[in-house]
Amino acid sequence: MSYEFSQFGRQLGCGSGIGELMEDLGHALASGGPELKMLGGGQPAQIPEMNAVWRRRLEELMEESGGLNRALTTYDPPSGNPHFLSAIACLFHESFGWNLSPENVGVTSGGQTAFYFLFNLLAGQMPDGSHRKILLPLVPEYIGYANQGVSGDLFRAVPPLIEKTGPHEFKYRVDFDQLDITPDVAAICASRPTNPTGNVLTDEEIARLSAIAKQHGIPLIIDNAYGAPFPGIIFTPATPFWDDHVVLTLSLSKLGLPATRTGIVIGPPEIIRALGSSSAIAGLSNPNIGQQITLPLIQSGEILRLSREVVRPFYEAKCQLARHAAHDAFGEDGEWFMHRSEGALFLWFWFPGLPIHSQELYERLKKRGVLVIPGHHFFFGLDDQPHWAHRHECIRVSYAMEESVVRDGLRIIAEEVRLAREQAAR
């Protein structure tokens, strides 16, 4: 029997770039065996010190009177546990002087869900029949945004300025001269650090984006899934930023609690109330276990110390090892560049003049047991530039795995890139 899906069903139920990749990665993991080099996912690493904190907190919840009941057997309000919301507001007020109350804070079932609600609340088909979009001031950008619009494509993007900052290093920067805020722009959105590149928008870039958004009466959405002050996977100076027109999202995932599905949104009360309403309609309430595990860490400020003294140094060390391994694998000759690593869990490679599409490179690597993410998936919102070669010359590589896995995977990537160039030159 064949069923006809609605427009909503066709948008969400008929496949997507991220869905196909996750399906492919899942099958490869299930059948790949111990030799598989999983460098393609966004799974955070296992940090022993953080795992010990989570075990301790679970033990404390079991020992507290009513602790386990609060975490597992009761519904919270759709916007989140009131004590958790108050603790977040207090933490950011005391740490950064932000004028926050619990009405500025909401919880969603993970950061991905937060963006699904935010994008569709602000953009798409409007009551007057017009169609509004989310402006991405810098691509490549997080692949998980791409297919979230229930009324079709939601994004318009601005190609980056590409600055070569070393013999084999480059950095993307916002091209403010091309940043055109037309009446159909509902909001500006950027991740900081950026998944997939590890790029961190500077304080100056954030201030300029904020001023532009405020001037046009639209929100600036900052995806802080990897950023400061928590989880703090950021290796360059970057001041946490918020204002009355800013929507800042955070997550417990990269602290080491991805399975708790806890997204945190700081924003104008009107938007927070709309998110709560969306959560009630879509899922009644949000998971409470992550909020209960981290509540005392937020109330005491311990979450900031753990981010600063445990999480950041752990990933910064892994990043340095991966960068050295990349230079060992690719050598000091040849046309290859790595984006300056300023945060997140990834290395972003650019191979100028690569004679094969990044998708073909992905397929070749998969046959050799190395899983990466082909770069073209991250360049959405550029409908007017389908033939821009750069978008087909990049790949994303995770460095969250064990050093030996990362090192072996990078060696195989370098071999396949050299082989592709040699075959094209014959």
**pLDDT tens-digit profile of 28-68?**
656 666 678 889 877 899 999 999 999 999 999 999 888 88
Residue 426 CB neighbours (<10 A): 4
Q: In this structure, are residues 379 and 142 in contact, taking their beta carbons and an 8 Å threshold?
A: no
Q: Is 231 helix (H, G, I), strand (E, B) or coil?
A: coil
Helix and strand totals (H; E) in the chain: 13, 16
Phi, psi of 264 (to 5 degrees): -125, 130
pLDDT tens across 263-295, in order? 999 999 999 999 999 999 999 899 999 999 999
Express each pLDDT in 357-372 by its tens digit: 999 999 999 999 999 9
Short-list 416, 415, 377, 420, CA closest to 395: 377
* Closest-CA residue to 412 (of 351, 293, 326): 326
**With contact defined as beta carbons under 8 Å apart, do 18 and 147 qualify?**
yes
Residue 383 has pLDDT above 80, yes or no: no
- Going along the chain from its start, the domains and CATH numbers come out as 16-46+306-425 (3.90.1150.10), 74-303 (3.40.640.10)
Token pair in block for residue 148: 């979230």
Summarize the confidence of residues 291-314 as an average pLDDT.
Answer: 97
Q: What are the pLDDT digits (tens) for 81-95?
A: 999 999 999 999 999
pLDDT in tens, 97-149: 999 999 999 999 999 999 999 999 999 999 999 999 999 999 999 999 988 88
Q: What is the pTM of this model?
A: 0.94
Instruction: Reduce the DSSP state of residue 355 to 3 states and report it.
Output: coil
